[in-house]
Amino acid sequence: MKKLIDFLKENNISFEENVDGKKLCSFRVGGNVTVMAKPKNAEQIVALFEFLRENSIKNILLGRGSNVVISDEGYSGVVVLLSEINEIKIEDKKITVGAGVSMLSLATAAQKAGLTGLEFAQGIPGSVGGGVYMNAGAYGGEICQVMTSCTCFDKSSGKVISLKNSECNFAYRHSVFMENKDLIVLSAAFELNGGNAEEIRAKMDELRGKRIASQPLEYPSAGSTFKRPDGHFAGKLIEDAGLKGYTVGGAQVSEKHAGFVINRGGATANDIKDLVKHIQKTVKEKFDVSLECEIEFVE
C-alpha cells in the first residue's frame, strides 16, 4: 500500500490508515479497513479511481454507510468516502448538491429556501449519493420524483458525464447505478416548487414525529432492512411470522417495528447477516414471500 499512500499524499487527498469499520456504517459493526480515502472534488475522484484501476487495488465506495455492513474480518482495500463532496447550490427553484451531502441537509436547505418537494427526505439516513443510488423514499416521496439530472463519474471510460432523470432507470428502490457499478454519483440536481418555509418546516416536523413514534431510532440500524414485497409490507410479514424481538447475538428484530433489524449492543456483522437469512427463510416458509434485503454486505 506504500505506492497508494504516496499517491494520496502527492495528490493532496485526505486519508486514514487502519480505520475501525464500525465508524463507517450506521450499524456500528465491522472490522478494520486498510485505507480510507476522502477525495474532495471530481478531479480527485477521477485521479484516484484511475490509480486504483491501474494498480488493481480492491476498493468500495461509501457515502454515510447507512445501507452497508462491513465484514467482521474487515476490508483489505480502500474505502472511498464521498463525505467531502458536499457543496450545496440553490438557483431559483433548483437545488444542486454534492453526493456527500446528507439527505437531512438537503431537505433542510430546501426548506430554508422556501422550496417544497423534499420534505420526505429529512428522515432518510445516508447521503444524497446513496439516495440516488437506491432511489430512496419515504411517506410517498421518492428521489426520482424531484431529481432532474445528476453528474457521474464513469470508471469504465474515465469520464465525468451527466444523466437525465429518464436515463437513470429509476424504479422502487432501484436505479441504473445498481445495474452499473462503474457509475459513481458526484452530484444531483432537484427541481422543486415554491412554498412557505414555515409550512414546510411544520410538515418536516410532522414526518419526523411519525418516525420517532414508529421506528427504533435509538438503536444503530440501516433503516428498513427489506424492500417492500409486492402486495405486502415486510414488517407485517415478519411480525406475523412471530419474529418480532427475535435475536441473534447482538442483532435483533426491533420490538418497535419488525421491519428494522437493530444492533441492541455488541452485534457483529455475522449476527446481522445470520438474522437476515433467518428472517428470509422463515417468511418464505410461512407465507411463500421472498424478502429482498436492502443492506449490502461488504467482504
Q: What is the pTM of this model?
A: 0.89
Q: Where are the beta strands (DSSP E) in 139-292?
A: 141-142, 147-154, 159-164, 183-191, 193-194, 247-248, 251-253, 261-263
Which residue in the list 173, 175, 187, 221 is annotated as catalytic? 173
CB 220 within 8 A of CB 26: yes
3-state secondary structure of 97: strand
Cβ neighbours, 10 Å, residue 137: 17
Per-residue confidence (pLDDT) for residue 63, from 0 to 100: 87
Band of the pLDDT at 117, cuts 50, 70, 90?
very high
Per-residue confidence (pLDDT) for residue 32, from 0 to 100: 97
CB 36 within 8 A of CB 138: no
Tell me where in the chain the CATH 3.30.43.10 domain(s) lie. Answer: 2-81
Give the cell for residue 59: 476498493
Per-residue confidence (pLDDT) for residue 64, from 0 to 100: 85
Per-residue confidence (pLDDT) for residue 233, from 0 to 100: 94
Q: Summarize pLDDT for 199-218 with one digit per residue, the tens.
A: 999 999 999 999 999 999 99
CB 29 within 8 A of CB 269: yes
Per-residue confidence (pLDDT) for residue 201, from 0 to 100: 96
* Beta carbons within 8 Å of 199's beta carbon, 6+ residues apart: 116
Per-residue confidence (pLDDT) for residue 55, from 0 to 100: 96
Tell me where in the chain the CATH 3.30.465.10 domain(s) lie. Answer: 88-213
Which residue in the list 66, 127, 224, 254 is annotated as catalytic? 224
2-81 topology per CATH? 3.30.43
Per-residue confidence (pLDDT) for residue 65, from 0 to 100: 85
CB 101 within 8 A of CB 124: no
Q: Summarize pLDDT for 241-252 with one digit per residue, the tens.
A: 999 999 999 999
Mean residue pLDDT across the chain: 95
Does residue 35 have a pLDDT over 90?
yes
Per-residue confidence (pLDDT) for residue 172, from 0 to 100: 92
Average pLDDT over residues 75-103: 95
Cβ neighbours, 10 Å, residue 276: 22
Class of domain 216-298: alpha beta
Average pLDDT over residues 7-12: 97
The 8-class DSSP code of residue 292 comes to P
CB 270 within 8 A of CB 229: no
Instruction: Name the packing angle between helices 2-10 and 42-54 (round to 10°).
Output: 160
Does residue 66 have a pLDDT over 90?
no
Band of the pLDDT at 53, cuts 50, 70, 90?
very high
CB 262 within 8 A of CB 225: no
Does residue 1 have a pLDDT over 90?
no
Per-residue confidence (pLDDT) for residue 272, from 0 to 100: 98
Q: Is 14 a catalytic residue?
A: no
Per-residue confidence (pLDDT) for residue 231, from 0 to 100: 92
Q: Is 173 a catalytic residue?
A: yes
In the chain, the percentage of residues whose pLDDT exceeds 90 is: 94
Tell me where in the chain the CATH 3.90.78.10 domain(s) lie. Answer: 216-298
Which residue in the list 28, 66, 187, 294 is annotated as catalytic? 294
88-213 topology per CATH? 3.30.465
Task: Say how many Å lie between the first and final Cα of the chain, rounded.
Answer: 19
Q: Is 206 a catalytic residue?
A: no
Q: Summarize pLDDT for 258-283 with one digit per residue, the tens.
A: 999 999 999 999 999 999 999 999 99
Average pLDDT over residues 36-40: 96
Give the cell for residue 103: 439527505
Give the cell for residue 203: 410538515
Band of the pLDDT at 135, cuts 50, 70, 90?
very high
